[in-house]
């Protein structure tokens, strides 16, 4: 394993979506600044002084719309959102609309892909593989659905349903945003959007599939193990920074 493929992991706990977005942008811009001053010697290995980060968190109830998403896929108007205590953000990630809230594990990798592979499609498939491997010990078979991102159950059947949504941004091969795994998520919130812009398929959670609450701490450990395995990286635990909105 290349020592430069060490990833600093931090669990931010529950944090407002905007504050987490700002923090991600800070880490991304720090890496872009390092890449800007890096000059590769012809014939030498890539050696920019960038850092890889992996953030776990949960958000208070929020709908987020990706830059390619359709506003009409948000079915709840402003008054309804206020009554539901759900905020709304237009973001700079890919993808359409989704929901984040309590009972969900949101993962934001800030990686310099030049230390891994410069292939965004492969990166998305790798994130999917992280989820698929993490779900397996719980007896849940995660799958890919051709033509769609994320992780699905019973893909390719009339019962296909999404358990993990994904949307990323990549700038000069530095990533941000990531995925949201429904663990004990209240799925009723998805009834007020067209999740990921897909009208003919459902959404599920680990709780719904297993018919019981799932220990989120155990799921986080499974995700960390699979992330390190898929990306062939050492995960170093760090103390989270104090973040203010």
Angle subtended at Cα 215 by Cα 211 and Cα 220, rounded to the nearest 5 degrees? 125
Question: Which pTM does this prediction carry?
Answer: 0.94
Instruction: Work out the average pLDDT over 152-171.
Output: 96
Tokens of 22: 């700002």
Whether 244 is in a domain gets the answer: no
Task: Give the active site residue among 57, 107, 164, 196.
Answer: 196
Instruction: Work out the average pLDDT over 151-174.
Output: 96
Three-state secondary-structure class, residue 219: helix
CB 196 within 8 A of CB 148: yes
Number of domains in the chain: 1
Among residues 198, 201, 173, 197, the alpha carbon closest in space to that of 67 is found at 197
196 is catalytic: yes
| Tens-digit pLDDT profile for residues 71-121 | 999 999 999 999 999 999 999 999 899 999 999 999 999 999 999 999 999
Q: In what order do the strands lie in the sheet with 87-90?
A: 87-90, 62-65, 97-100
Three-state secondary-structure class, residue 72: helix
pLDDT score at 41: 85
Whether 17 is in a domain gets the answer: yes
CB 161 within 8 A of CB 170: no
Residue % of the chain over a pLDDT of 90: 86
Q: What is the CATH number of the domain that holds 93?
A: 3.30.930.10
Domain coverage including residue 111: 3-38+46-237
Whether 243 is in a domain gets the answer: no
Whether 147 is in a domain gets the answer: yes
pLDDT score at 1: 45
Whether 117 is in a domain gets the answer: yes
Among residues 166, 199, 200, 160, the alpha carbon closest in space to that of 182 is found at 166
Instruction: Work out the average pLDDT over 57-73.
Output: 94
Alpha helix locations (H) across 38-119? 78-84
The b-or-e profile of 194-219 (16+ CB within 10 A means b, else e) is bbbbbeebbbbbbbbbeeeebebeeb
| Tens-digit pLDDT profile for residues 192-238 | 988 877 777 899 999 999 999 999 999 999 999 999 999 999 999 98
* Average pLDDT value over all residues in the chain: 94
Whether 245 is in a domain gets the answer: no
Q: Is the pLDDT of residue 43 over 90?
A: no
The b-or-e profile of 158-174 (16+ CB within 10 A means b, else e) is eebbbbbbbbbbbeebb
């Amino acid at each position: 394993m290349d020592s430069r493929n060490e990833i600093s992991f931090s669990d931010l706990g529950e944090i407002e979506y905007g504050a987490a977005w700002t923090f991600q942008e800070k880490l991304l811009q720090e890496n872009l600044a390092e890449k800007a001053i890096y000059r590769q010697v012809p014939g030498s290995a890539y050696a920019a002084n960038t850092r890889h980060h992996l953030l776990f968190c949960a958000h208070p109830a929020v709908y987020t719309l990706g830059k390619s998403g359709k506003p009409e896929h948000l079915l709840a108007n402003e008054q309804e959102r206020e009554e539901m205590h759900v905020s709304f953000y237009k973001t700079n990630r890919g993808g359409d609309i989704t929901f984040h809230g309590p009972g969900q594990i949101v993962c934001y990798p800030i990686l310099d892909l030049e230390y891994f592979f410069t292939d965004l499609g492969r990166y998305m498939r790798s994130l999917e593989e992280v989820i698929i491997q993490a779900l397996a010990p719980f007896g849940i078979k995660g799958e890919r659905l051709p033509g769609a991102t994320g992780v699905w159950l019973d893909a390719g059947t009339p019962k296909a349903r999404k358990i993990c949504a994904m949307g990323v941004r990549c700038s000069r091969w530095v990533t941000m945003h990531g995925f949201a795994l429904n663990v004990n998520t209240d799925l009723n919130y998805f009834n007020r959007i067209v999740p990921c812009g897909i009208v003919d398929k459902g959404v599920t959670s680990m709780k719904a599939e297993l018919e019981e609450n799932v220990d989120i701490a155990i799921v986080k450990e499974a995700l960390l193990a699979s992330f390190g395995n898929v990306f062939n990286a050492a995960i170093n635990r760090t103390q989270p920074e104090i973040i203010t909105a």
